[in-house]
Amino acid sequence: MKVQVDHDRCEGHGKCQMAAPEVFEFRDDDLSYVRLDEIPEELKAKVEKAIRLCPRQAIDWVK
């Protein structure tokens, strides 16, 4: 599965990176980026937590 960050919504709060540092990283524009093309099974729970914690609902699975 893939996950994406909507940069029109992301405000750089960083909760996603705290929940799943293996998956999300910040770049020079202070927005969150997905580091992995495919999310391995063992990281899915962390991504789900990041989705729940994001105050801007900016993270979602790619259907």
User: Given the complex with ligand SF4, which of 15 and 44 has the nearer CB atom?
Assistant: 15
Residue 59 in contact with ligand SF4, rule: CB under 6 A = yes
Whole-number minimum distance, CB 44 to ligand SF4, in Å? 17
What radius of gyration, in Å, describes the C-alpha atoms of the chain? 10
Distances (CA, A) of 50 to 4, 60: 11, 9
Separation between Cα atoms, residue 44 and residue 2, nearest integer Å? 10
Single residue of 5, 23, 34, 39 touching ligand SF4 by CB under 6 A:
5
Residue 5, beta-bridge partner list: 59
16 binds ligand SF4 (CB under 6 A): yes
Determine if 10 is a binding residue for ligand SF4 (CB under 6 A): yes
